[in-house]
Amino acid sequence: MDITKLTITKIQKLLKQKKISALDVTKAYLARTKKLDPEIKAFITITDELALKQAKKIDDKIQKDQKIGKLAGIPMSIKDIYLTKGIQTTAGSKVLKGYIPQYSSTVYQKLINQDAILIGKTNTDTFAFGASTENSGYFTTKNPWNFDYIPGGSSGGSAACVSSSMSVFSMGSDTGGSIRHPASLCGITGLKPTYGRNSRYGITAMASSFDCPGPLANTVEDIAVITEVTAGKDPLDATTSSTSVPKYSKLLNKHKLKGLKIGLPKEYFSGSIDKQVKQKVLETTKFFEKQGAKIIDISLPSTNQGIAVYYVLVPCEISANMARYDGIRFGQSKKDIKDLLSYYLETRGAFMEDEMKRRIMIGTYALSAGYFDAYYLKASKVRTLIKNEFIETFKKVDTILAPVSPTTAWKIGEKIDDPLQMYLADVFTVCINVAGLPSLALPCGFSSNNLPIGFQLIGNYFQEDKILSIGHQYQQLTDYHFQKPKL
């Protein structure tokens, strides 16, 4: 039996039957990590000693027939933007190299409280700024399906880790697609919850009104179990919702496919979308149609404004959030942008990665006195339009089905010198973050060169149970989520 191919439910069952131990599971994943990570480079920090110590404690509980947590014995990895008490947290940037937090993020603490075992902290674009993990201050993570290709970003380390079976699940974050995008490009499942469903406390901030912590795993069932643990009101995060948390894992067959109304937005199937991606996603709609679902053509006309809105509002919030790392008031008493950039580069900005500097400068410019109305205020108004379009659409459909990425993974280095092309990789994901909706990414096939293709199910606010149910039933009738790279 290959332990590294088991789901959360199967591992838990075997643990309770005492057919395997938490130590067996942990050693299997650490051995695989030791073998594969030198090439894939998914981890910034590997916590092997801590993991073995946690596993022994769980085994002691099991031997004494004591109660164990919902995730007991399950090896997990965490994107390195989550604060972990006593464990280095770098956010993928040299700015925080060697930083040891004095407290843990709420989501991480909830997982540890349920006896999950931390294998390590995963690589990310610096402070989660990027779509390829090439913007990390340390190294580029490779796609397990082909080492010449990027894994997506910014949760690329987390996605590569799960795809290559170096952890059962991983926690990422999604500000504009950073869970769904790498999940799609690495052939796994990822959930961006409703904004406020999971606490942001103790997670390095990118754009505070967009950021959504969420899980990446192999199956929807695993995603449901994890989200039951992480979701809920947090007194330490005022933006978390008091909406009750359903038993997601018990509702996976609740929403039947027969009679389901699935919206197909025309804007997501036009423009620069790759032909093979479009074909595979449309084949998925035919699958649902055969199961009795009704496919309804819809329009989300402000979709084309999504990238522009996102890349005005998000850098503005980045500009404010990043100020804490060097104490500079960007733009103060400086004559122009060149003056400001020169001053900035001479300070702690010298330790910051290029994409981090780029977004800070864009945001500072858009917030400056002469441009606030032209950029930030206008983008905020269009954000409201995008949100209202989704609200009206969900009066007609149960879920929206769309591609995640317009292309499959691209080669490492192919777009790194063209930031605009990199930003356009998020064209099908950013509007969901602009509106704050939940979305589930699932694998649905492969390209002619054997690179994964994914689709997303977009839900109405706090209807994670519905999209998880639909996604689970899809996976019960397909096998794309079982297919793994040969490593």
First to last CA, the chain: 17
Q: Which of 158, 173, 178, 199 is catalytic?
A: 178
Residue 388 DSSP symbol: H
165 is catalytic: no
In the chain, the amino acid numbered 123 is N
Alpha carbon distance 313, 113 (integer Å): 35
Spacing of C-alpha 243 from chain mean position = 22
Neighbours of 44 (CB within 10 A): 24
Within 10 angstroms of residue 332's Cβ, the number of other Cβ atoms is 8
Set 21, 77, 79, 105: catalytic member: 79
Coil vs helix vs strand at 452:
strand
Helix (H) or strand (E) holding 297: strand 294-298
Q: Which of 154, 163, 302, 319 is catalytic?
A: 154
178 in catalytic set: yes
Distance CA 20, CA 18 (A): 5
Write the CA distances from 474 to 219, 456, 483, integer angstroms: 11, 12, 15
Whether 79 is catalytic: yes
User: What value, to the nearest 5°, has the Cα angle with vertex 179 and ends 274 and 303?
Assistant: 50
Largest Cα–Cα distance in the chain?
70
Q: Are 233 and 242 in contact (CB under 8 A)?
A: yes
For residue 149, what are its two tokens?
């290709």
Determine the Cα–Cα distance for residues 239 and 226; give it in Å rounded to an integer.
Answer: 20
Cα radius of gyration rounded to whole Å, the chain: 21
User: Tokens at residue 47, please?
Assistant: 């916590």
- CA-based nearest residue to 114, from 193, 248, 21, 231: 231
**DSSP H or E segment with residue 216:** strand 213-217
Q: Cα 222–223–228 angle (5° rounding)?
A: 100
What is the spatial order of strands in the sheet that 213-217 belongs to? 43-46, 117-122, 75-79, 169-173, 213-217, 189-192, 439-446, 452-458, 399-403, 261-265, 294-298
Token readout for 115 is: 């006896």
What residues act catalytically? 79, 154, 178
